[in-house]
Amino acid sequence: MNTELSVNGHSVHTGADPSTPLIDVLRNHLDLRGTRYGCGLEQCGSCMVIIDGKADYACSREVGSVAGRSVTTIEGLAVAGKLHPLQVAFLEEQAGQCGYCLSGILMSAKALLDRNPSPSRADIVAALDGNLCRCGAHPRILRAVEKAALAIRAGALS
Amino acid sequence: MSDTLPLSIVNNRRLEKWLRFDPDRTLHLAVGKVEIGQGVLIALSQIAAEELDIDVDRVNILAGDTADAPDEGSTSSSQSIEVSGRSVRLVSAELRSRVLARLAQRLNCNPADIAIEDGAFLLENQPTGHDYWSFVSDADYAADITGSVVPKPPASYRVVGQPVPRKDLIAKVTGAAFIHDIVRPDMLHARMLRQPSRNAQLAALDKAAIRRAAKGEFRVIRLGNFVAFVGPDETVVQRAAVAALAHARWEGARELTPAHGEAAWFVDQPSDDRLIGDAPATPAGEMVSAVYSRPFVAHAAMAPSCGLAEFRDGHMEVWSHTQGVYPLRNSISEILGLPKDKVIVRHAHGAGCYGHNGADDAALDAAVIAQQIPGQCIRVQWRREEEFGFEPVSTAHRTRVAAVLDAAGRPVDWTTEVWAGSHVQRPIYGGLFLAQEALPNPPPPAKPGDPPEANGGGGTRNGTPLYDFAAKRIVHHLALSTPVRTSSLRGLGALPNVFAMECFMDELAERAGMDPVAYRLSMLSDTRARHSIENVAARCNWSDRGPVGTGKGLGLAWARYKNKAAYACVAVELEVDKEIRLNRVWACADAGLVINPDGAKNQLEGGIIHAASMTLKEQVTLDGAGITSLDWASYPIMTFSEVPEISTEIVHAPNLPTLGMGECTFGPTAAAIGNAVYHALGVRVRDMPLTRERIAEVLGRV
């Protein structure tokens, strides 16, 4: 049975069983390996993707449940080879240590900035509180999201 | 000179082991220390670029590869810059010197007359037509490193000391970047059914039920009590492994109780007892003591462990996020009965690694399966519950500090007494892999050891205070067995020991009627330590610290990691309502020459948050056959909403040798929190984690 969905703006048909976890379809069927397995329990946020504009876990959600919907992964952040302002800011702030949590954090942050281009520090903290980081890169990550928000607002004004 | 050479060079004498100028005008730098989240690769690249005078962007680094990179043991104990960095500096300086000497002969000039600009050689500011890529010869590469060339003076550094961004982060913010993302031809996915404990026997396995649940094709590999589900579809083998938990019957698993999970359990255990330092004495004066503890804690890496292995034509090739490719290669060779030269281990990046976690076990799992299924790549991915349940954990650790005080309330005799299990059971210290115990004919149980004092010790780490006390000693009770497998985790015994010792210093200061900072400085002649303490005390407005018991607390502590690596002082401002809430943290570190100050600050910040998480929240719980804290709900760590504002400063000391700093804030942070909680509440909480329940319990006792 085929499932049709949009991934990073492209229409995709997958023959995977509809009960297959979305993360397995992304990683193994579509070769989008930036969505990371952390717990499979919706507790750590490593697998966060954006589904119809909202940050959501890919680890335990069945692919059948996103039929007809739009999924954005870390590979969909850069457009035509140009890094997203969030990615630029994370690199400028060196906001990571091991980096394993970063793709999930970037997706949570993108969903936030898409709906709220001028978030307060508290808004950012709330948006990222479902994402764990074990290395302790939190202060840099928060700074990077603030910096990206500024850059996006400046870009929108120019 | 050779007796003063770093071990890394002694074990890898030829230049070609380290450096090669490739035709695309890049430098191939090969090292044995690996990236484990600490950002070491850029720092090592900077050192090579500096000594050779090439642009740092030209450096391609290969780290951790038994086929193509030098053997530098394990990436641990904050040694990467101290040891590998020093080696890369000496090797690079030597190659530069060799090449310039030959070129000077050719040009009939003095080597010192030749300048190097991004790898091109200039004489009197004119191009010579020569550069490293055209001029370095096979004889240069084949030469043995003498270590006799003096590297550049730090005053001339242009790349070292700069905050050069890491190259590896780009992949990590854009897509595939980790061992988990490697795809090989003919790759099969594998999941393990873990033996609950040593000696547990698999009495029954309902394969039919597992097949019904898995809904797809897979093989069961069973060798004694080693069981793996292997197939082309990851989803299927994952389902099989989850279903197997309910369809496997084990007999003879160990039986634990929650009491096994407390540090106090170690007090009654048979132990190997040692005295380090001054002989026991009974000087005149009042004797005071207190007991502190930390429970078992987990590495709790963001990614469950992963390993890949291919066995083709008698050759085993393994990919691992191990800390040591050579030690792992040696273990795999021995366990699988393959000659060392038929086993290659290559490092691939994993999630942040803070010590001996599940990486090596997952690699051996993959290699065992690969030997059974030659010709295909086996990718073993551990499940989250497996990671929490089976990675080696850091031992629970109980520290009793006792001091004999003079009339002014200052210690004249100090004893740090430690009860703990082994802090390092890497295979090179005699520890065992999980698979070894599950395969037929398991080796006898390991006899737990600890690193020698020359390497900083394990349970004894930082146990000798650096204050000017007349007599100091450590009494170490190393338990002969542990309820679950224990091994190294960031700082080993440093965190629990510094927590105990620096909290006790605050207790003694209060007893002496002195301010805790003034009390410390009155017994501390090490000027670098004093400087870090004074720096932090000034920045946190220590002199305006309010009275005890207002609900708001400011605490401070310091240590020199391993008593020989970087110095760090940390102050913590917090408030206690129902929970402890950290507001601000100030830190100052002195690590001598710092290669990449931004990377170093990242390490300081990370160490503070990691230690705060451990101090406030973390405890591995034990019951039944083993560990019961198997997910992030039962093993919570610090979240974004709990992280304080952090301000770090690094002492500028480029002319002093680099001191490892990845672990230096760890112990001081724990103790500063303990001291700040006392300042806030007026009660001393001596057992970690400092949870709401623990604080309520202590408040209830007073």
Residue B410 lies in a domain: yes
CB contact under 8 A, A98 and B36: yes
Last residue of a domain, one of B381, B412, B440: B381
CB contact under 8 A, A46 and B631: no
Instruction: Give the pLDDT band (50/70/90) at residue A83.
Output: very high
Tell me the C-alpha distance between B180 and B383, whole Å.
12
CB contact under 8 A, A100 and B350: yes
SS3 B103: helix
Residue B369 lies in a domain: yes
Task: Indicate the angle between helix axes A102-115 and A138-157, nearest 10 degrees.
Answer: 40
Q: Is B130 left (phi over 0), alpha (psi -120 to 50) or beta?
A: beta
A78 and B174 in contact (C-beta within 8 Å)? yes
The letter for the amino acid at B607 is G
Do B141 and B197 fall within a single domain?
no
- Nearest CB among A20, A43, A90 relative to B235 is that of A20
pLDDT at B1 over 50: no
- Which residues, 6 or more positions from B352, have their beta carbon under 8 angstroms from its beta carbon? A97, A98, A100, A134, A135, B36, B37, B301, B302
- Which residues, 6 or more positions from B254, have their beta carbon under 8 angstroms from its beta carbon? B196, B197, B198, B199, B200, B483, B625, B626
Do B555 and B457 fall within a single domain?
yes
Chain A interface includes B662 (CB < 8 A): no
Of B494, B633, B504, B674, which Cα lies nearest the Cα of B567? B494
Residue B375 lies in a domain: yes
Give the minimum alpha-carbon distance from A50 to chain B in angstroms, rounded to a whole number.
Answer: 15
Q: Give CA B185 to chain center in angstroms.
A: 33
The partner residues of B116 in beta bridges, in order of sequence, read B121
ipTM: 0.97
Share of chain B above pLDDT 70, in %: 99
CB contact under 8 A, B173 and A75: no
Tell me the C-alpha distance between B236 and B234, whole Å.
5
- Nearest CB among A46, A98, A131 relative to B37 is that of A98
- Nearest CB among B166, B181, B215 relative to A94 is that of B166
Q: Give CA B78 to chain center in angstroms.
A: 7
CB contact under 8 A, B602 and A101: no
Chain B interface includes A75 (CB < 8 A): yes
Do B561 and B663 fall within a single domain?
yes
Chain B interface includes A138 (CB < 8 A): yes
Tell me the C-alpha distance between B594 and B658, whole Å.
6
Domain that holds residue B59: 2-166
Dihedral of CA atoms B59, B64, B68, B69 in degrees, nearest 10, equals 70
Please tell me what DSSP assigns to residue A8: T
pLDDT at B578 over 90: no
Share of chain B above pLDDT 90, in %: 95
**Max intra-chain CA distance, chain B:** 85
* Other Cβ atoms closer than 10 A to B273: 10
The DSSP result for B412-434, as a single string, is: EEEEEEEEE--S---GGGT---H
Do B50 and B111 fall within a single domain?
yes
Chain A interface includes B350 (CB < 8 A): yes
SS3 B393: strand
SS3 B570: strand
Q: Is the pLDDT higher at B429 or at B533?
A: B533
Do B114 and B188 fall within a single domain?
no
Interface with chain A: mutation pick from B170, B172, B582, highest number of A CBs within 10 Å? B172
pLDDT at A1 over 90: no
Helix and strand numbers (H, E) in chain B are 18, 26
> Mind listing the pLDDT tens digit for each residue in B283-312?
999 999 999 999 999 999 999 999 999 999
> Mind listing the pLDDT tens digit for each residue in B12-31?
999 999 999 999 999 999 99
pLDDT at B2 over 60: no
pLDDT of residue A157: 58
B412 and B470 in contact (C-beta within 8 Å)? yes
Please tell me what DSSP assigns to residue A26: I
Tell me the C-alpha distance between B619 and B606, whole Å.
19
Do B626 and B499 fall within a single domain?
yes
Tell me the C-alpha distance between B329 and B339, whole Å.
10
The partner residues of B191 in beta bridges, in order of sequence, read B229
Of B444, B450, B436, B294, which Cα lies nearest the Cα of B368? B436
**Distances A111 to A74, A79, B83 between C-alpha atoms, Å:** 12, 16, 44
B420 and B266 in contact (C-beta within 8 Å)? yes
Cis peptide upstream of residue A117 (ω within 30 degrees of 0): no
> Mind listing the pLDDT tens digit for each residue in A89-148?
999 999 999 999 999 999 999 999 999 999 999 999 999 999 999 999 999 999 999 999
Chain A interface includes B605 (CB < 8 A): yes
| Buried/exposed code over B655-674 (b: 16+ C-beta within 10 A; e: otherwise) | eeebbbbbbbbbbbbbbbbb
Do B467 and B556 fall within a single domain?
yes
B293 and B263 in contact (C-beta within 8 Å)? yes
Please tell me what DSSP assigns to residue B552: E
- Which residues, 6 or more positions from B15, have their beta carbon under 8 angstroms from its beta carbon? B91, B94, B95, B140, B141, B142, B143, B144, B145
Chain B interface includes A119 (CB < 8 A): no
Task: Indicate the angle between helix axes B234-247 and B207-214, nearest 10 degrees.
Answer: 140
pLDDT at B686 over 70: yes
pLDDT at B217 over 50: yes
The letter for the amino acid at B550 is T
> Mind listing the pLDDT tens digit for each residue in B110-152?
999 999 999 999 999 999 999 999 999 999 999 999 999 999 9
For chain A, how big is the Rg over CA atoms in Å? 15
Chain A interface includes B351 (CB < 8 A): yes
Do B93 and B56 fall within a single domain?
yes
Give the minimum alpha-carbon distance from A76 to chain B in angstroms, rounded to a whole number.
Answer: 9
Residue B292 lies in a domain: no
Tell me the C-alpha distance between A43 and A46, whole Å.
9
Residues of A whose CB is below 8 A from B607 = 136
CB contact under 8 A, A40 and B383: yes
B673 and B644 in contact (C-beta within 8 Å)? no
> Mind listing the pLDDT tens digit for each residue in A25-64?
999 999 999 999 999 999 999 999 999 999 999 999 999 9
Residue B272 lies in a domain: no
- Nearest CB among B176, B602, B643 relative to A97 is that of B602
- Answer CATH for A3-74 from 2.30.42.10, 3.30.70.100, 3.40.50.1700, 3.10.20.30: 3.10.20.30
Q: Residue B110: what are its φ and ψ, rounded to 5°?
A: -90, 135
Do B27 and B113 fall within a single domain?
yes
SS3 B690: coil
pLDDT of residue B448: 84
| Encoded tokens for A107 | 């997706």
pLDDT of residue B701: 79
Residues of A whose CB is below 8 A from B670 = none
Instruction: Give the pLDDT band (50/70/90) at residue B430.
Output: confident
Of B479, B419, B472, which Cα lies nearest the Cα of B291? B419
Do B190 and B314 fall within a single domain?
yes
> Mind listing the pLDDT tens digit for each residue in B651-665?
999 999 999 999 999
- Mean pLDDT of all residues in B235-262: 98
Q: Residue B611: what are its φ and ψ, rounded to 5°?
A: -65, -40
Interface with chain A: mutation pick from B40, B173, B610, B648, highest number of A CBs within 10 Å? B173
Give the minimum alpha-carbon distance from A156 to chain B in angstroms, rounded to a whole number.
Answer: 23
Domains held by chain B: number: 3
Task: List chain A domain ranges.
Answer: 3-74, 85-157
Dihedral of CA atoms A128, A132, A135, A139 in degrees, nearest 10, equals 20
Give the minimum alpha-carbon distance from A106 to chain B in angstroms, rounded to a whole number.
Answer: 8
Do B451 and B511 fall within a single domain?
yes
Tell me the C-alpha distance between B653 and B24, whole Å.
37
Residues of B whose CB is below 8 A from A87 = 173-174
Interface with chain B: mutation pick from A98, A105, A129, highest number of B CBs within 10 Å? A98
The letter for the amino acid at B55 is D
**Distances A154 to A42, A90, A114, A149, B12 between C-alpha atoms, Å:** 34, 17, 15, 9, 53
Tell me the C-alpha distance between A110 and B643, whole Å.
21
Residue B274 lies in a domain: no
- Which residues, 6 or more positions from B105, have their beta carbon under 8 angstroms from its beta carbon? none
CATH superfamily of the A85-157 domain: [2Fe-2S]-binding domain (1.10.150.120)
For chain A, positions 89-118, list CB contacts with chain B under 8 A. 90-92, 94, 96-103, 106
Tell me the C-alpha distance between B514 and B500, whole Å.
19
Please tell me what DSSP assigns to residue A62: B
What integer best gives the mean pLDDT of chain B?
A: 96
Do B363 and B403 fall within a single domain?
no
Instruction: Give the pLDDT band (50/70/90) at residue B4.
Output: confident
> Mind listing the pLDDT tens digit for each residue in B319-346?
999 999 999 999 999 999 999 999 999 9
Chain A interface includes B631 (CB < 8 A): yes
Q: The CATH number of the domain where B509 resides is what?
A: 3.30.365.10
pLDDT of residue B76: 87
Chain B interface includes A28 (CB < 8 A): yes
- Nearest CB among A36, A44, A87 relative to B173 is that of A87
Continuous H helices in A39-120: 85-92, 102-115
For chain B, positions 160-189, list CB contacts with chain A under 8 A. 163, 165-166, 168-170, 172-178, 180-181, 183
B562 and B550 in contact (C-beta within 8 Å)? no
